[in-house]
């Protein structure tokens, strides 16, 4: 085969098989999310916990696939995302995000 044919076949293979989202349909998530809100005077406390794992239903190259879980906790534009470390997709994850906010009586 000449270089042009090899380049075209290689590019086509790369486009069809190696996209970033190629493996996304292979994961079946088994996660639970727990939330809580508490008050202490004007202080508001929130927590979000996410735990579980993903079942892999198709074959994937071992060692090259990683996954991480995240918990999103925002109150009055404060807080944000908390992430787990990267590990295998079928590993068990537990991620907790905490936030607090001083409310103004009658406003928040």
- Per-residue pLDDT reduced to its tens digit, 48-68: 998 998 888 877 666 677 778
Tell me the percentage of the chain whose pLDDT exceeds 70.
70
- Calpha distance 106→48 (Å, rounded): 25
Which tokens sit at 65? 């696939």
Burial of 93 (0-12, 13-18, 19+ CB in 10 A): buried
Residue found under tokens 């085969």: 1
Residue 87 has pLDDT above 80, yes or no: yes
* pTM strictly above 0.75: no
């Amino acid at each position: 085969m000449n270089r042009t044919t090899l380049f075209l076949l290689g590019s086509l293979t790369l486009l069809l098989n190696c996209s970033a989202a190629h493996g996304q349909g292979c994961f079946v998530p088994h996660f639970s999310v727990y939330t809580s809100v508490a008050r202490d005077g004007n202080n508001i406390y929130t927590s979000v916990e996410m735990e579980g794992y993903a079942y892999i239903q198709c074959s994937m190259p071992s060692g090259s696939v990683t996954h991480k879980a995240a918990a999103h906790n925002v109150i009055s534009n404060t807080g944000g995302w908390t992430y787990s470390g990267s590990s295998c997709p079928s590993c068990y994850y537990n991620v907790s995000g905490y936030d607090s906010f001083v409310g103004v009586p009658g406003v928040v």
